[in-house]
Structure 1
Amino acid sequence: MPRYRLIFTSVRGETVPETIDFTAPDPGQALQFAQWHSGPTEVWTEDRKLFTLSRSGNNDEVWIISGNQGRTRQESRPTEREFSDRVLAGETTPEGLPVAAAPEAMRQWKE
C-alpha cells in the first residue's frame, strides 16, 4: 500500500504536529486526519505534493482540495477549478458521498 505524509500548517499561533505518516490504498484517509486541524494540510507521497486540504464556509463545513503541482492532467479529468466548483456546489458521487470526501474523487489527483 502507498505511504502518505500530511504536513500541517500553523494557524494563529496554534501548536500542531509537523507531520503524520500513514499507509492507505488511496489518499482519501487524509480527510480523517485533517478534520481536527483548523489550517491547511498538505498531502504528500514520497517527495511529491499531491494536494492541499483546507476548509471554507460559515462553519468550515466545505472541504477545498487544491494543488496538483507538477503533473500533467488528462483531458478527461476536471481542472482544479472545476473540481473546487463541484465541491462547493455540494455534488455527490453515484454512491451518495460528497465529492470532497469520496476516495475516487481524490484519486484524480494521483498519478
Structure 2
Amino acid sequence: MDRPITTLFMLMSVDGKISTGATDDLDIDKDFPKIAGVREGLHQYYEIEQTTDLWSLNSGRVQAKLGVNTKEMPDKTPVSFVIIDNDHLNKNGVLYFCSLNSVYTSDMV
C-alpha cells in the first residue's frame, strides 16, 4: 500500500511558547511528560524538532523567562534567531543572542 509523505506542523502561540494554558506557570516541557498517552510519544516531537528549519522565531518575554538576561555567553550555533521584543531583554540578553550569531564579535558592542 502506498502511503502519502506528510509533514507534522505544531502550532504555537505568537510569543513562541507552546503552552498548555494561559498562564506562565503552564508549560509543555513540564506538563506533557506528566500526561499519560502524551509522554510516551513526546520523544517523537523532540526528534522531529531537531530536523526542522535553522530559523527560530521567539519573543523576548519567553527568552527572559528562560534566563538569557543572566546566562553566560553561549557557543555559536547554525540556528538563526529572530527575537521580537520591546522591553524584556536587557543588555546581557541581547548580547546572548548576538553571540549565537556567527558574525558577532566583541568589537560590535
TM-score (norm 1): 0.29
Choose between structure 1 and 2: higher helix proportion: 2
TM-score (norm 2): 0.29
